[in-house]
């Protein structure tokens, strides 16, 4: 889910920049290409038609995972109660793309030897 930094007050000066930035949920281009019934955003949190902003300090570097699940419970009189629960857990951290950079081997340099 892309979150882009956005200045809260574009006319403010450079002092105290951290307090002037919030994160705006951005839209993924692939969502526009999905047909009905295909995978895509299915909740209020992910709804690409509604704007969503987060304070920068709410999202740690490792990210967060938000799960939504229906809960069912019974009261002592046997009545059934259903509610929607949100659970926020730490993310898995930054992932690696698997890209390797060129390495210099000091054992045998070209043109020597």
16 within some domain = yes
Q: Residues with Cβ < 8 Å from 53, sequence gap 6 or more?
A: 6, 22, 23, 24, 25
Q: Whole-prediction pTM value?
A: 0.48
86 within some domain = yes
Residue 14 has pLDDT above 70, yes or no: no
Q: What angle do CA 98, 61, 54 make, to 5 degrees?
A: 125
Dump pLDDT digits (tens) for 32-87.
666 666 665 666 666 767 778 878 787 787 888 888 899 999 999 999 999 999 89
Eight-state DSSP code of residue 61: T
Two structure tokens written together for 52 = 């969503």
State the Cα–Cα distance between residues 113 and 110, nearest whole angstrom. Answer: 8
Tell me if residue 37 falls in helix, strand or coil.
coil
99 within some domain = no
Domains identified in the chain, total number: 1
For the chain, the farthest-separated pair of C-alpha atoms sits apart, in whole angstroms, at 88
50 within some domain = yes
- Per-residue confidence (pLDDT) for residue 89, from 0 to 100: 87
Q: Which of 17, 26, 21 is nearest to 5 (CA)?
A: 21
Tell me which residue range forms the domain holding 79: 3-90
- Edge-to-edge strands of the sheet including 3-7? 3-7, 21-25, 53-55
State the Cα–Cα distance between residues 90 and 7, nearest whole angstrom. Answer: 26
């Amino acid at each position: 889910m892309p979150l882009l930094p956005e200045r809260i007050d574009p006319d403010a000066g450079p002092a105290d920049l951290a307090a002037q930035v919030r994160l705006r949920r951005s839209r993924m281009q692939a969502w526009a290409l999905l047909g009905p019934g295909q995978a895509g955003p299915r909740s209020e949190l992910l709804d690409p038609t509604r704007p969503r902003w987060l304070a920068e300090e709410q999202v740690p570097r490792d990210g967060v995972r938000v799960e939504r699940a229906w809960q069912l419970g019974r009261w002592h009189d046997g009545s059934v109660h259903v509610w929607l629960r949100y659970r926020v857990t730490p993310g898995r951290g930054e992932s690696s793309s698997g890209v390797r950079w060129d390495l210099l081997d000091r054992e045998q340099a070209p043109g020597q030897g």
